[in-house]
Structure 1
Amino acid sequence: MSAIQQQKRRLFFALWPGAAERAALAAWQPPLRELCGGRIMRPDTLHLTLVFLGEVAEHRLQAACLAAQEADFRRFDLQLATAHYWGHNHIVYATPAAVPAALAALAGGLEHGLRRHGFHFEQRPYKPHVTLLRNAKRSDADLPPMPAVRWPVHDFVLVQSLSGAQGAHYEVLARFGRRSTGE
């Protein structure tokens, strides 16, 4: 194998919030941290994962992009209305009260296309969420109601996860679903 084929990138597909949605989600973090402790996720890292691929050989990027282009993407609104705590991984996250059909279809279709293109990844029931806090410890108090965040979803992205001194940071490699006419 050549050196290019041996290089790998840690990749995932995600919904990437705009500035308004990112600010609204970040506003949830301080009151939730008051109850649960933990580490607030940096606003620039907030996202909703569609499919986590993990380590992917550099030469497979084009196949991943092709699978994304083949996915049946339709614009939709995502309403994030509640915060929950996951004890097994100690996170607090935002989630929709109901999963929009277009989101479930996108995640399922993307998984199917990626498998057709020879990608292997962990398969588990899809639970859309945006991680807000890590290393949280649940208090006895219920998590407070949060102001709903309306997120108009116009596209989805392929993201590379990079590690640095400040922790993980993400680089958007490609966008899919938005029409080139400016829609």
Structure 2
Amino acid sequence: MDTNDKTARVFFALWPDRTERGGLSGWQPPLLACCGGRVMRTDTLHATLVFLGEVEAVQLEALKLAAAEVSVARFELCFDEAHYWGHNHIVYAAPRTLPPQLIELVRELEQNLLRHRFAFERREYKPHITLLRNAHWTDKPLPGMSQVCWHVREFVLLESAASSYRILARFCLM
């Protein structure tokens, strides 16, 4: 973040490594062939945990402290289904099964943020990785995809600027 900026657009996310991103980007060509749209850049693929939006720069250290208080075990996360959200024309990867540690991670992170008086977008958590934007599909199931799994060892605080993301901090899981 530019030190002259007064706010940053931030969120917490799971940030897959190059191998997992490669597996997920392999889903994009067949999905693009059936749904059209715009492919998300491989280097930006992530699963949002909690979206905060604009946060004052002076609050970023407190935000990092709140996240550092999370105490959740590492876990494996597998994305094995592609779905379409018609209301925003997005095709995304989703896990068929939610590891309990993922739900616990989001819950603890939200509780810590509330305790530290941070405002954030509150909605039912549905883990996903956006693969295509501006897509068009029906309610029919999308083609099957090869499972992409990774061992989640950390989560990150990301700043969103234009069409890229910058990691502001990393937080290790137990």
Regarding TM over 0.5, the answer is yes
The amino acid that maps onto 1:120 is A
Question: 1:73 Cα shift?
Answer: 2.4
C-alpha distance in structure 1 between counterparts of 2:145 and 2:5, whole Å: 45
**Which position in structure 1 is the counterpart of 2:28?**
29
**Are 2:57 and 1:58 equivalent residues in the alignment?**
yes
Identity of counterpart residues, as a percentage?
A: 54
Distance verdict in 2 for CA 1:5–1:74, change over 3 Å: farther
Cα contact 1:73–1:177 (8 A) shared by 2: no
Structure 2 residue runs without a partner (length 5+): none
Query: CA-to-partner distance for each residue in 1:123-167, whole Å, 9 max, x for gaps?
Result: 11000000000011005753110000011101000000001xxxx
Q: TM-score, normalised by structure 2?
A: 0.94
Distance verdict in 2 for CA 1:144–1:174, change over 3 Å: same
**Are 2:164 and 1:169 equivalent residues in the alignment?**
yes
Cα contact 1:38–1:133 (8 A) shared by 2: yes
RMSD of aligned alpha carbons: 1.6
* Matched position secondary structure for 2:26: helix
C-alpha distance in structure 2 between counterparts of 1:154 and 1:136, whole Å: 32
C-alpha distance in structure 1 between counterparts of 2:56 and 2:139, whole Å: 45
**Which position in structure 2 is the counterpart of 1:130?**
129
Q: TM-score, normalised by structure 1?
A: 0.90
**Which position in structure 2 is the counterpart of 1:97?**
96
* Matched position secondary structure for 2:84: strand
Structure 1 residue runs without a partner (length 5+): none
The amino acid that maps onto 1:177 is C
Cα contact 2:11–2:159 (8 A) shared by 1: yes
C-alpha distance in structure 1 between counterparts of 2:118 and 2:142, whole Å: 38
Cα contact 2:71–2:173 (8 A) shared by 1: no
* Matched position secondary structure for 1:138: coil
**Which position in structure 1 is the counterpart of 2:119?**
120
C-alpha distance in structure 2 between counterparts of 1:149 and 1:132, whole Å: 13
**Which position in structure 2 is the counterpart of 1:111?**
110
Displacement over 6 Å in runs of 4+: none
Corresponding pairs, count: 172
